[in-house]
Amino acid sequence: MSVNSLGEQGESTYKLTKITSLWLLIIFIFCSAWAHRYTIKTTKYRADIEFGKRNGCRPPAFVLSYKWPFGLDVVRRGFKAGRQGKLLALFGWYFGQLGPTVELTILGGTGFATMDPENVETLLSTGFDDFHLGRRNSAMKAMIGDGIFTQDGPAWKHSRELLRRNFVRMQYQNLEGFREHTENMIKALQDSAGIVDLQPFFYRLTLDTTIAMILGQSVESFRHELGDLFSRSFDRASSVTAQRLRLGDVYWAYVPKGCEVTSVLGDDKDITRAHIQRMPYLHIVLKETLRLYPPVPLNTRFCKHVTVLPRGGGPDGLSPMLVREGMPVAYSVYHMQRREDLYGPDAASFRPERWEGSELVDIKWAYLPFNGGPRMCLGKDFGLMLASYGIARVIQTFPNLKLPPGEKWEDLGAERQHLTIVLSNADGCKVLLE
C-alpha cells in the first residue's frame, strides 16, 4: 500500500470520526434537552397533583368519550351540527348525557366544559385572577382590534374605564339619544310593510345608536346603502332583541297585563325612563328572553396557573376539581340558564311570570346574560333601555303585529341558530306588519 493510499484512508477515517462525533453531540444535546424538559414537566405534574390533594380535588366525574383517534369523531359531529345550525342543541345533548361539568380531550388537548353556576362564579369572579382570555387576542385582533374585548390586565382596565364613562353618562340622561334612530327604523318598517324580517332592522338600530353614542356621529344605516353593507357585518346581540318580538306568538307584550305598552304610552312617542319603569311586564319579558337566548351563549377562559374549580370532581361531581396551567375551561350560559333543577320543569318554556314574586330571588350566578364579575358588560343598562324603547315603539306603531300565515313554529331551542361570537336566529325573525 502506497503512502498516498494510507494518507487518503487516514483522512477519510478522520472525516468519518468527525461526522460521527458531530452526530453524537447533536443526539446528546437533543436527549439532554428532552430529559430536562421531561424532568421539569414531571416535577410540575407531581406538584400539581399534590396541590390538588391539599385542596380536596377528585378526578372528574364526567369524561367525554370518543371512538376515533384524537376525538375526531366528536369534531366531525360538531362541524356537522354547526352547518345545520344545531350546535348548541348538540352541546345540550352532551351535557344531558354526561353532567354539568365535563372533561374533554380533543386533538390532544385536555380541557373542561361547564354549566355549573359555582364554577362559572369562580371563573368570572372569585377566581378571576387565576384565568385569562388566552388566544382570544390573536384570534380576534384582525376583526375588532386591540381593545376591551381582547385585552387582559392593565390594558383592559384602562379601556374599561374609558368606556365606562360613556355608559355611566348615558344612564343619567333621558332617552333622547334613541329617538332619531328608532324613528328611522319605524319609518323603514312602515315603508316595507307586509311580511318583514325584523332581525336586520334591529341590527341597524343597535349599530346606529351605539356608534352615535361612542363616536358622536351615527352611520345612519337606515338612510344609506353603505349602511346596509356595514350593518350586515354587525353581528351583535341585537339579534336577540328581534327575537323578543316573536316569542310567545308575539302577543305577550301587549295582550297580557292590560295591554301594558299601549296603556302606558298611548300616542306619546317621547318615551322616557319613567315610561319604561311603568312597564314591569316588558321588563320580565326581556329577562325571560335573555334567559333563553343570552347574547353570548358560550365563552372560554384559560388557566394562568394551577388552581381549583369547586365542582366537577368525585363520583357525584360535587367535589373540587384540579385545573392545570394552560387548560381551557368553556362555560355555557345558554345551557346553564335552561337547567330544570334551577328554573323548574318548564325551564325550556318561555314563561316571563317566573320572574314575578320570589321564585328566582336566589338565582344569582345561574343568570348571566350580561356576564358577571369584573368583566360584566358595561352596556347592560344601555342595551336594556334600547330594547325596551325599540319594542315599545314597534308595538305602539304596529298594534296588530303577528306571525305570518303558515309560518312554522318550532320549540324554543329547536330552531336553526346562527352562532358566531353571539347568537341569532338563522332564519331571521319574520312578522306580519299591518
> Which pLDDT score, from 0 to 100, does residue 330 have?
96
121: number of Cβ within 10 Å: 19
**Across all residues in the chain, what is the average pLDDT?**
82
pLDDT of residue 257: 47
For the ranges 1-10, 114-123, 373-382, 405-414, the one whose mean pLDDT is highest:
114-123
93-102, 290-299, 330-339, 413-422: least confidently modelled range: 413-422
Q: Choose the most confident range, by mean pLDDT, from 65-74, 234-243, 374-383.
A: 65-74
Least reliable range by pLDDT among 55-59, 218-222, 310-314, 338-342 = 218-222
- Paired strand residues for 11: none
- What's the pLDDT band for 106 if we cut at 50, 70, 90? very high
Positions of E strands within 194-290: 194-197
The pLDDT of residue 402 is 85
pLDDT of residue 141 exceeding 70, the answer is no
Q: What is the pLDDT of residue 274?
A: 87
Length of the chain: 434
pLDDT at residue 173 greater than cutoff 90? no
Over the stretch 323-349, which tens digit does the pLDDT of each residue have? 999 999 999 999 999 999 999 999 999
* pLDDT confidence tier of residue 407, bands split at 50, 70 and 90: confident
At 259 the pLDDT is: 60
* Cβ proximity of 331 and 123 under 8 Å: yes
**Low-confidence winner among 182-186, 190-194, 269-273, 361-365 (lowest mean pLDDT):** 269-273
Tell whether the model's pLDDT for residue 27 goes beyond 70. yes
The better pLDDT of the pair 127, 3 is held by 127
- Report the C-alpha gap between 33 and 41 in whole angstroms: 12
Q: How confident is the model at residue 39 (pLDDT cuts 50, 70, 90)?
A: confident
pLDDT, mean of residues 387-405: 88
Residue 307's beta-bridge partner residues? Answer: 323
344: alpha, beta or left? (left if phi > 0; alpha if psi -120 to 50): left
Per-residue pLDDT at 361 exceeds 60: yes
Give yes or no for residue 152 having a pLDDT over 80: no
Other Cβ atoms closer than 10 A to 412: 14
User: Comparing C-alpha atoms, which of 200, 218, 201 is closest to residue 209?
Assistant: 218
429: nearest Cα among 243, 269, 260: 243
Percent over 90 (pLDDT), the chain: 44
| 114 CB burial (10 A radius; 0-12, 13-18, 19+) | buried
Torsion angle, CA of 139/145/150/156, rounded to 10 degrees? 160
Up-side HSE of residue 121: CA atoms within 13 Å toward CB? 11
Q: What does the pLDDT read at residue 250?
A: 38
What distance in Å separates the CA atoms of residue 218 and residue 273, rounded to the nearest whole number? 22
Q: Which of 61-75, 113-127, 172-186, 275-289 has the highest mean pLDDT?
A: 113-127
Cell triple for residue 21? 462525533
Q: For residue 420, how many other CB atoms are within 10 A of its CB?
A: 8
Task: Return the pLDDT at 243.
Answer: 45
Q: What is the CATH number of domain 173-294+337-433?
A: 1.10.630.10
Nearest Cα neighbor of 312 from 92, 45, 59 is 59
Q: Is 369's pLDDT higher than 90?
A: yes
Between 394 and 16, the more confident residue is: 394
- pLDDT band at 138; cut points 50, 70, 90: low
The answer, yes or no, to whether residue 355 has pLDDT greater than 90, is: yes
Confidence of residue 40 (pLDDT cuts 50, 70, 90): confident
**Is residue 45's pLDDT more than 70?**
yes
- Helix, strand or coil, per DSSP, at residue 175: coil
Contact present, 198 and 239 (Cβ < 8 Å): no
Which amino acids are annotated as binding site, given as ranges? 377
What is the residue-wise DSSP string for 267-325?
T-----HHHHHT-HHHHHHHHHHHHHS-SS-EEEEEESSSEEEEEEESTTS-EEEEE-T
- Spatial separation of the C-alpha atoms in residues 292 and 284, rounded to whole Å: 12
Give the per-residue pLDDT at 59: 96
Q: Which of 10-19, 50-59, 202-211, 215-224 has the lowest mean pLDDT?
A: 10-19
CA 360 – CA 364 distance, rounded (Å)? 9
- Give whole-number Cα distances, 423 to 85, 249, 329, in Å: 11, 20, 20
Distance CA 198, CA 217 (A): 24
Q: Which amino acid is at 286?
A: L
Dist. CA 161–CA 322, nearest whole Å: 34
pLDDT per residue as tens digits for the range 198-234: 988 998 898 888 888 777 777 676 665 544 444 444 4
List residues forming the annotated binding site for heme.
377
pLDDT > 80? residue 409? no
